[in-house]
A and B are shown apart, each in its own frame.
Chain A
Amino acid sequence: MSATSLADDTRHLALDGPLSIYTAADTKPQLTAALQGAIALQIDLSQVEEFDCAGLQLLLATQAHAQRMDICLRFIGASAPIVELLHLSGLAGQLPIEEACA
């Protein structure tokens, strides 16, 4: 997992491995740090191998936070577990994930 700043002030955070109850406690500080003072944030989810309710809550809370702070947040690169869970929970519309860019 790494956070890098691209030239156009968009921060980039890539999450990988499991994003679940087992990692949620560690992932939250990463998300908070990435959001801190950001103008635009891009979170790459394409390498997330495991996704559960805890992960989902984190992404939703991150989204809500970004909205409140006027941060332009984009989720990109949905991995299969994420797509399945969003579909299952009826949240696909609420948590749009864009195609991963090359």
Chain B
Amino acid sequence: MNLDSVIGTFIAESQELLQQMEDALLQIEHAPDDAERINAIFRAAHTIKGSAGLFGFDSIVAFTHVAESVLDRVRAGDVRFNGDLIALMLNVGDHLAGLISQLASGHDLSDLPETTRATEAALTGELSHYLEPQPANTTPAAAPDTPTPVAGAGHWHLSLRFGVDTLRNGMDPLAFLRYLGTLGSILHVEPVLDHLPPLEALDPESCYLGLEVAFESQADQSAIEGAFEFVREEGSIRILPPQAPLSAFRELIAERAAEGTAQVERLVRCGSLAADAFEQAAQHNDSAHETATTRAADTPERAAKDNSRTSKDANLIRVDADKLDQLINLVGELIIAGANTRMLAQRSNLADMCESAETLSRLVEEVRDSALTLRMVQIGATFNRFQRVVRDVSREIGKDIVLQISGGDTELDKTVVEKIGDPLTHLVRNAMDHGIEPAEVRHSAGKPLQGVVRLNAYHEAGGIVIEVSDDGGGLNPQKILAKATQRGLVSEGQQFGDKDLLNLIFEPGFSTAEQISNLSGRGVGMDVVKRNITALRGTVELDSVLGQGTCVRIRLPLTLAIIDGLLIGVGQSSYVVPLDMVEECIELPSAEIAGQQHLDLRGEVLPFIRLRQLFDDQSQPPRRENVVVVRYAGIRAGLVVDQLLGEFQTVIKPLGKVFCQVPALSGFTILGSGAVALILDIPGLLTQVTQHANTRIAGQSNALRSTAQ
């Protein structure tokens, strides 16, 4: 077994659990008595502790144990969740996440930075406050002044019943005994054979054995409990510390009531329970029966609940992302091969063949669609992370802000989801910091004091739209214009629609905040957001109504692997332009502009690039050339090509390292004929155009005049 990969699973699982814990904590803020959520939080802590113990990450176990004890008290109703405890638990989660990421980065837990240790000590200190008023049941040995009669002997007593599937799960009750031997010394073992069925009814792979163990050890309760971490859920593990009160034994006997007096005798034989206490204990056997029945009554319910949880989990499969990528890659090949077959079929003029090829390509399309949905994840998980951001930031800046989430079940490509997190954080922080006004301003504007930030997502025409909106002060277009003029982003007297003005804030070096806070407002924000989103082939735009709020709308393609392209031809070669960047196609107006770099498009200057020159194609240009007008990020340019070959569904394949320095290409694809078509990097080409324009700025007015003629 490869330990690294197992630890990898542990890290992934723990991170997931911590996320669940955080979600539950945030929700519990609104419903502090929700037993299900409390249980979810407890389970998360418990599982992390258990798995960490398995790998011997003792510091995690020790720390989590304290948190778990507090959570256990919450579960028992001794402590109630309030703002402080939730804040504390969130910090506990953060600290654990820190430890886990320390592991993930391959560091050892023993060389933690000093600050981390200090945090841990502080957290443990705070946590222990919640354990103080009444010592937690995990440390009963520390409660010698309780008046309950002491019945136990000077050693631990372990009463172990194992789940039926213990053996099948790869564990052996007797191995636990061996392990206990390393923690201390086993004084006496009483095997419990009461549950062993007759041979004919015996399932050889089920576990029927139970054990009563008298055990002497200096180890603390958590260490002993830790040994049984993975059988505790299924079986029934009772650990009585030395000098346990009689009530503890009574409870134990009550729980094993089905085993009758045999169990009491075993306790006595173990020396854990004094013989005279036997009588006393036996007297309580009647009441024990009652307790046993009530317990039995609530167990199936719990079991049913647990079951529903497991069956839900069972519907999901964890798959290596690489495997999915490989599948998508193969599907891409399939599309190419399918296109080839289709083309050959059409050429062959065989009706049957064509029909079969059509069916095939339809199926291939379906396969492609379902393969692509495999990579789709709901954006809800990403959205929910912002609950925490909003909560923390609103405390930090002293504004009362609530986050509303809708459309969390909208799905998009996993890669996109991963990359959208940063820009979204930026936008949400911006909305909170600059969008939502301070309480006084809101009050005088007659708005509710609590500000609202909304995250919304929905599908629209083959893409996904994510909206970040707030009900804050909105943006003032005139202020933006003034600022833009001051920064030299626009020239005086230029005319703008309101919308164009608003979108100026995505220009580099722009900030309208009069006051810079440590969150945002340094003017490096929005252009970075825009760049990140354009890198995902998305767009971003902004709507704002002064005094009513702002809405930033991000449009993203559903997937990054397959695009719709326009196939164009230059000489013998084919190229693909992403269709969503194509604005229109026109015929190149006669040869009189030969040698020019611009043309007149309905009165506007349109710079163009001759692909024939760009790629140094030596072939003779045809009599008529075409211009594909592309627009990206507000810049427009024309590409002069020989032929327009129509729309083409393009599987993007990355170019080899050798070509990564070529600015005009972003990838390639394979056509049905087997020929290679290069995918043009339009943003890259457009940057070239603007640079050219700048270097020739002196000659521009001449050029303009000649175009106009």
Contact = CB atoms under 8 A, between A and B. Distances in A.
Interface of A: 21, 24-25, 27-28, 31-32, 35, 52-54, 56-58, 60-62, 64-65, 68, 85, 88-91, 94
* Most chain A beta carbons < 10 A, residue from B175, B193, B199: B199
B172 A32 contact: no
B163 to A, nearest CB: 13
Given A21-B168, A52-B174, A58 B189 contact: no
Interface stretch (B206-214, B255-263, B341-349): B206-214
A11 B145 CA distance: 63
Given A52-B172, A53-B167, A64-B196, A89 B204 contact: no
Contacts of A21: 167-168, 172, 205
Contact of B202 (A52, A57, A88): A57
B199 A61 contact: yes
Given A32-B199, A54-B172, A58-B202, 4 more contacts: A21-B172, A21-B205, A64-B198, A90-B188
Contact of A90 (B172, B190, B200): B190
Contacts of B173: 53
A60 B196 contact: yes
A38 to B, nearest CB: 13
A21 to B, nearest CB: 5
B189 A61 contact: no
A91 B175 CA distance: 15
* Most chain A beta carbons < 10 A, residue from B193, B200, B204, B209: B204
A53 B209 contact: yes
Contacts of A89: 174, 177, 189, 191, 209, 211
A90 B173 CA distance: 13
B207 A53 contact: yes
A64 B194 CA distance: 12
A53 B196 contact: no
A61 B198 contact: yes
B181 to A, nearest CB: 8
B197 interface: yes
Contact of A61 (B167, B196, B205, B207): B196
A53 B177 CA distance: 11
B177 A32 contact: no
A90 B167 contact: no
Contacts of B208: 57
Nearest to A27: B204
Contacts of B196: 57, 60-61, 64
A58 B197 CA distance: 10
Interface residues of B, number: 25
A62 B193 CA distance: 13
Interface in B452-494: none
Contacts of A57: 196, 202, 204, 207-209
Nearest to A23: B204
A61 B202 contact: yes
A27 B202 CA distance: 12
B197 A90 contact: no
Q: Which 10 A-B pairs have the closest CB atoms?
A: A24-B204, A90-B189, A65-B199, A61-B199, A28-B204, A53-B172, A61-B202, A21-B167, A52-B172, A25-B204
B499 interface: no
Contacts of B193: 60
Contact of B199 (A25, A62, A85): A62
Contacts of A90: 188-191
Contacts of B190: 90
Nearest to B202: A61
Contacts of B117: none
B321 to A, nearest CB: 34
* Most chain B beta carbons < 10 A, residue from A31, A53, A88: A53
B79 to A, nearest CB: 40
A90 B190 CA distance: 6
A35 B200 CA distance: 11
A60 B196 CA distance: 8
* Most chain B beta carbons < 10 A, residue from A57, A60, A61, A89: A57
Contact of B174 (A60, A65, A88): A88
A98 to B, nearest CB: 21
A90 B655 CA distance: 69
B200 A32 contact: yes
B696 interface: no
A52 B178 CA distance: 12
Contacts of B198: 61, 64-65, 68
10 contacts: A25-B205, A28-B202, A28-B204, A52-B172, A53-B173, A54-B204, A60-B196, A61-B202, A62-B199, A91-B191
Nearest to A22: B205
A60 to B, nearest CB: 6
Nearest to B168: A21
Contacts of A52: 167, 172, 174-175
Interface in B526-578: none
A77 to B, nearest CB: 21
B190 to A, nearest CB: 6
Given A25-B204, A57-B204, A31 B189 contact: no
Contacts of A64: 196, 198-199
A2 to B, nearest CB: 20
Contacts of B204: 24-25, 27-28, 54, 57-58
Contacts of A53: 167, 172-174, 207, 209
Nearest to B200: A32
Contacts of B211: 89
Contacts of A35: 199
Contacts of A56: 174, 209
Contacts of A62: 199
A78 B178 CA distance: 20
